[in-house]
Structure 1
């Protein structure tokens, strides 16, 4: 039985990362502007008008697509900035915009009726009723599912919506349902849904102490690392805390989602796109992950019945996984 191969959607936090993704086999790249309109608003990342135009030109030259993430929520009195980002996307000729804000979806549908609209994972739509509403009301043609659904639940969504369904295939996991995180705003006063970053750089501090390297977020101790221990970027959800005299990852252990072993199932149920997380990661990371997933998808398409994960693929992805370990997350839930 022939299957339609999902698009491989890869992150681009910079122009070099965009070109790396295209060169290594991505079907689509997704990126954001250098402001609060995108959910990876890190200093030194993202695109200005010049680099975005060049990225679109390069991708289209290689017959690849560019998706622009405008996936934070417009703030009262500042909504013109978000609307202007949608206007720029249409003007520059991106292949789709990824939106979460219902007001922006309405604006895009009314102002740019030919602009392809994708519902961001930040929209937090976990059921087909919500997705169908966005399709009927705004003309959304693709939705990115939060990483909290089992394969059976994803299949149920696909069966009951005409909207293309995109799922995450590799990258950092989030303990929250995307679009509903309050942890960062609790500590820093700035939500990733409005300011575009879990841990604002201005709130991050590293201090060397006799006990080891400490990481703090707005003064709150998030973690402490022994000499030689790998130190991750401090986010509240992945810190280690003292709970009843035991220090451990109380909320979530650093690990990355990796769907290589269930690719045949994702193809069987009709997933339209598989997304790689990591716009904040390096071009080298983007290149390595893109190349491996491209090879795995092609191998699965050739013969899904005989497909198996090559040890070299798993080893390479584990090296760039958060905490150097991987999981199937909610895709593999032994209980019902």
Structure 2
């Protein structure tokens, strides 16, 4: 008789925290780790009213650590060539305030962190766009990266290929908004707004967003560029150029990417069998209620898959909850499932 297959390791559930309240709710709902950023351009969700002051970060770290959870701090934008000091100061602040790891993309920031704080754990951000095991090996060998977050452009088989050829921990996105670009390489917002999301940390800076009422609805622009037009009673999301509607060959539709969310619950047992070490939930810009509900669903799902991977089934209640919270109330397997490949 053949011996039974080993039970897959339970991956960490890594959840977003755009505020102290979101952090607390994520921890209480079962997150193994939360990720967050400071209130400056060093993180890729630099929205007004979000993120952490130093005292809030200190309180959040204490709250998480008291419950045996981790805090990962995102310094995942690219440092300005003329002034990298804010990024370096943020590295020092993360250490002083007790963060368990940094999520980094910029080589200079990695080098500074490794030189000044060699004990600090470094995770390679999705913003670095490392899609191969060779790229990940480069960051490991030169900067001591211990975990890499894969971009949302790889198929399931490609994720498995990376995992079979690296000893670096691999983290993948499980739920949340998709990015049409190879992350860390987006120039769309720069074209429309004059500000790079890879430096300023916002795809659509509020200063560039224009809502213009019309008799038949509302136009939304980034500066002077019209990117969508809504009917009076149509739901409106936060505008980004990649998810705008444009007329192409006489048809007005989402030309680049639809406003829909990645939902990989159905793939969870396979991701675990392949050896994924962490599942990441996107959404630091979303509400604390969103964070709590998504965290609770994924906690239940990961625990169920770990207990009985061969009998795992996506529960209707999980699908209903995530469907309600998904962008545009639609969800997809994204690049994980590309039959034509």
How high is the TM-score relative to the length of structure 1? Answer: 0.99
1:240 corresponds to: 245
Count of residues in correspondence between the two structures = 336
What's the CA shift string for 1:190-225, capped at 9, x where partnerless?
Answer: 111000000000101111111201111112111111
1:227 Cα deviation after fit: 2.1
Q: Whole-Å Cα distance in 2 between the matches of residues 313 and 214 of structure 1?
A: 35
2:295 corresponds to: 290
2:119 corresponds to: 114
1:91 Cα deviation after fit: 1.1
Q: Whole-Å Cα distance in 2 between the matches of residues 211 and 127 of structure 1?
A: 48
1:280 Cα deviation after fit: 0.3
Q: Whole-Å Cα distance in 2 between the matches of residues 45 and 261 of structure 1?
A: 31
Q: Whole-Å Cα distance in 2 between the matches of residues 148 and 218 of structure 1?
A: 29
> Is 1:250 equivalent to 2:255 in the alignment?
yes
1:142 corresponds to: 147
The alignment partner of 1:248 has SS state of strand
> Is 1:65 equivalent to 2:70 in the alignment?
yes
1:246 Cα deviation after fit: 1.2
> Is 1:304 equivalent to 2:309 in the alignment?
yes
Deviates more, 1:240-249 or 1:317-326: 240-249
Q: Whole-Å Cα distance in 2 between the matches of residues 13 and 184 of structure 1?
A: 22
Tell me the C-alpha RMSD between the 2 structures.
Answer: 0.7
The alignment partner of 1:162 has SS state of coil
> Is 1:92 equivalent to 2:97 in the alignment?
yes
> Is 1:162 equivalent to 2:167 in the alignment?
yes
2:189 corresponds to: 184
Aligned equivalent of 2:332, options 315, 327, 331: 327
1:13 corresponds to: 18
The alignment partner of 1:280 has SS state of coil
1:263 corresponds to: 268
Deviates more, 1:72-81 or 1:283-292: 72-81
How high is the TM-score relative to the length of structure 2? Answer: 0.98
Q: Whole-Å Cα distance in 1 between the matches of residues 143 and 251 of structure 2?
A: 49
Deviates more, 1:226-235 or 1:269-278: 226-235
Aligned equivalent of 1:46, options 51, 54, 73: 51
The alignment partner of 1:224 has SS state of strand
Aligned equivalent of 1:221, options 226, 233, 245: 226
Aligned equivalent of 2:202, options 197, 201, 215: 197
1:4 Cα deviation after fit: 0.8
Segments of 5+ residues of structure 2 without an aligned counterpart are 1-5
The alignment partner of 2:35 has SS state of strand
Q: Whole-Å Cα distance in 2 between the matches of residues 262 and 303 of structure 1?
A: 14
The alignment partner of 2:180 has SS state of coil
Q: Whole-Å Cα distance in 1 between the matches of residues 294 and 247 of structure 2?
A: 35
Q: Whole-Å Cα distance in 2 between the matches of residues 29 and 137 of structure 1?
A: 26
2:3 corresponds to: none
After TM superposition, the structure 1 = structure 2 runs for residues 128-139 of structure 1, keeping only pairs within 5 Å, are 128-139=133-144
> Is 1:210 equivalent to 2:215 in the alignment?
yes
1:77 Cα deviation after fit: 2.3
Give the ranges of 4+ consecutive aligned residues of structure 1 lying more than 6 Å apart after TM superposition.
none
Segments of 5+ residues of structure 1 without an aligned counterpart are none
What's the CA shift string for 1:92-142, capped at 9, x where partnerless?
Answer: 111000000011111111110000000000011000001011111111000
The alignment partner of 1:84 has SS state of helix
